[in-house]
Each structure stands twice: as structure tokens, then as C-alpha cells.
Amino acid sequence: MPSRIVSTLRPTAVNSVLAEVKALQAQGRSIVSLMRGEPDFPTPPHIVAAASEAMAKGRTTYPDNRGEMKLREAVAAKLARDNQASYNPATEVLVTTGATQGLYCALTALVDPGDEVLLPNPVYDAYQSPIRLTGAVPRPVASEFADARFTLSVEALEAALTPATKVLLLNTPWNPVGTVFTTKELAAIGDFVLRHNLTLISDEIYEAITYDGCHHVSPASLTMELKARTVIVNSLSKTYAMTGWRSGYCAAPKPIIDAMFLVLQQSSRGPAMFVQDASTAALSGPQECVAEMQREYSRRRAIVMQGLSGIPGVQPIAPEGGFFVMADTRGLNEPSDQTRQRLLQKHGVVVVHGSAYGSQGEGTLRISFSSGSVLEEGLIRLRNGLLELLP
Ligand SMILES: Cc1ncc(COP(=O)(O)O)c(C=O)c1O
């Protein structure tokens, strides 16, 4: 029998929906997916070449479990270059198997059973279960939606705070709603964190994908005080189209990284050494590939905004960052999961219902434009399906 803690865990929204999709595909149905946050670009060739060379050289043994020193140095150089934050690669950087493991290590290192973790509502659904695995409790923070943008106010953070609150988990750019927090917003959130002696876990995985002059700011770059209370979680998955490589990294003050390293050793030895060598090549090599992908995401974002315009009862929200458009479907007067199921069953197009990301995601659908080849066909199906759902 599963343990009590494990019975509190839930599959991720994507995995639940995928099970429905596979059942339909097994019946021979044609399904187009606008669901996954999975870049469809091949990993840039110089990164693949670095992995091949490393394998050919026999770099196939256990890695340094904290991360190969060359990669930790590349991470520290990247954090200084792109995020204006200085970290010691010997003591303040940990290499992980993707941001997923970074989040798990950070949460396990920072919270005890009964502690509370503040989470924006709505947010990436896969934050819930690793919090529950530690015995801690996810506590939603009400977002505000005004001028086609989701934000988090200090008032809402204060309202969600209890004596048990230990951590605020923030995602900027924010999946699924697309907000890129401004320096001013982050400074106010940072003050809140410091005032209440919390730790900020900052998931920055979509940092490279921003639009319309918005730029990612890491909270760790704001003040030394906030940096001392921040764990940066990041990975190569989205920035370099490396989702399957399972390579990520965290940066934080030494005592936190030491605690996270203890956690990491219990379930992993870190990414394969040749994956780490490829990651070093990605972080320290030419960055033009990142800019190229960014330009293509920008083009696709415009296609989605155009494809969803003029549908009565549906309002697409232009993301400032990431590769998801949230469509406000409150005008359809139907629970988002029901809309999603109808779109899938009748129209063969997969999106994620906003309610999967929290109660405040209700009345929205998340549409991914990370896959370009299916975008046009997916949008035709989505548009037809939404038009048919009109009340
Ligand atoms: C906000 C957010 N954090 C973390 C992850 C997991 O990333 P990784 O592939 O690095 O484990 C995802 C993946 O979709 C994500 O959207």
C-alpha cells in the first residue's frame, strides 16, 4: 500500500491529460496537441557535439555529485553575465537533473512537516506534489487580474501569510499566465520576504523567452539581503531546447546549497557527465541559438493571438514571457475542464484547462506555442471548437 504522504500526491496536469489523449489515439483519432511546454527545436548542434565528444573521451563515469566543476563555473559565469548575481561555484552552485530536481531539493532542504509554502494562484501545477512530499502545505496567494495581466500584490501575500509560512515559491516568467515581474514588483515582494524571514525560491526556467521589451529580472540581483534569502532554480530545458537532457542548476548561499546537496545524494548522483559537458558548452558557448529561438517564439505568439481573436466570449492574453497564451474563456460560461474535454473529444485539439493551475485559473485555457509545426492546424481546430461552444 502506498504511504500516507504518497497518497496526497497528484499526477501533473499534463500527465493526466496525456492519458486521455493516448486513449483517443489508440482508437485511431487524429489529435493535435497545443498542450506541452516542449520546445520543438533540435538541441543546437554544438551542444550535441560536446556530448558526443565527451562520451567518446570516456566521460561516462560518476560525475562530481555537486556538479562537475567546469559546469559550476559556467553556471556562475552565466549568473554574473545574465542575472547580475555573483555566486561562488565551489560552494554556492548545485547541478541538478532539471529544475524538477532543483525544486525538490530546495523544498526538502527548507521546509518541515506542517510548514507552509506560499504559491501564486494560478501557477505551474507540478509545484504542489513536491511540497506535499515534504509534509508541508501549499498555501495559494490570490492573484489580481487587471489590464490583461496577472500580478501578485503585497496585500495578497500578507493575507496568505501564517505563523507556519517558511517559503515563497515564485516563477518569473510565470507559467501559465505569462507575467514577467518587473523590478519594482520584485522589490516589493522581496521586502515582504525579508520582513517575514522567509526564503524565496525563484524558478527562472523561462527567463530567456520574453516579449515586447519585457526583460527577466532575478530577485537575487536586487539586494545582498534578498540574495541571501533566495534560491535560484533554473535549467537548460527551455532555453536551449534540452528538455530530455535533464540538466539544471541552483544557486543559493552555502548553507542552503549544502543542505540541498545532502538531499540530492539520496535520490540521484546528478546528470550524466557527458550531459554536464554539453551543458557547459551550452552556457558558455555562442548564445545566438537562444536569440533565434526567441524570435521564432515571438512569431508564433503573434499567430496564436491572431488565431484566437474575434471569438465571442474568448479573450487571449498576450504573455510577456514563456510560450503559453492563456485564453480568458469566462464568456463561455462553462468550467474550463469541460471546455478542454469537449475540444479534445469533438475537435481533436489538446489544451490545458486553467483550473489545473489553481482555483483562479478557472475560466481560462492554456495554449502552448512551443511546437510550431502543429500550430496552424491546432488553431483551426481550437477556433472551430470555441466558436461552436458559444452560449
Ligand atoms: C515553471 C516550470 N518549472 C519547472 C519545470 C520543469 O523543468 P525541467 O525540465 O528543468 O525539470 C517546468 C516544466 O514545464 C516549468 O514549467
pLDDT digits (tens, 9 = 90+) for 92-109: 999 999 999 999 999 999
Q: Which CATH number fits domain 6-42+288-388: 3.30.360.10, 3.90.1150.10, 3.40.50.300, 3.40.228.10?
A: 3.90.1150.10
Query: 203 C-alpha to center of ligand 1: Å?
Result: 8
Domain with CATH 3.40.640.10 in the chain: 45-284
Compute, in angstroms, the gap from residue 387 CA to the centroid of ligand 1.
32
- Cα(331) to ligand 1 centroid in Å equals 30
pLDDT band at residue 174 using 50, 70 and 90 as cut-offs: very high
Cα–Cα distance for residue pair 85/359, rounded to 1 Å: 35
User: Of all protein residues, whose CA lies closest to atom 4 belonging to ligand 1?
Assistant: 99
Fold of 45-284: Aspartate Aminotransferase; domain 2 (3.40.640)
What tens digit of pLDDT does each residue of 300-355 get?
999 999 999 999 999 999 999 999 999 999 999 999 999 999 999 999 999 999 99
Show the 3-state SS of 300-348.
Answer: HHHHHHHHCCCCCCCEEECCCECCEEEEECHHHCCCHHHHHHHHHHHHC
Residue 391 has pLDDT above 60, yes or no: no
Q: What is the atom index within ligand 1 of the atom nearest the CA of 203? A: 3
In the chain, CATH 3.90.1150.10 covers: 6-42+288-388
State pLDDT tens for residues 65-82.
999 999 999 999 999 999
pTM beyond 0.95: the answer is yes
Task: Tell me the torsion sign for CA atoms 272, 284, 96, 290.
Answer: negative
Report in angstroms the alpha-carbon separations of 390 from 59, 294, 332, 339, 347.
Answer: 58, 34, 6, 11, 15
- CA dist list (Å): 348 to 20, 34, 330: 11, 11, 22
**End-to-end CA separation in angstroms for the chain:** 46
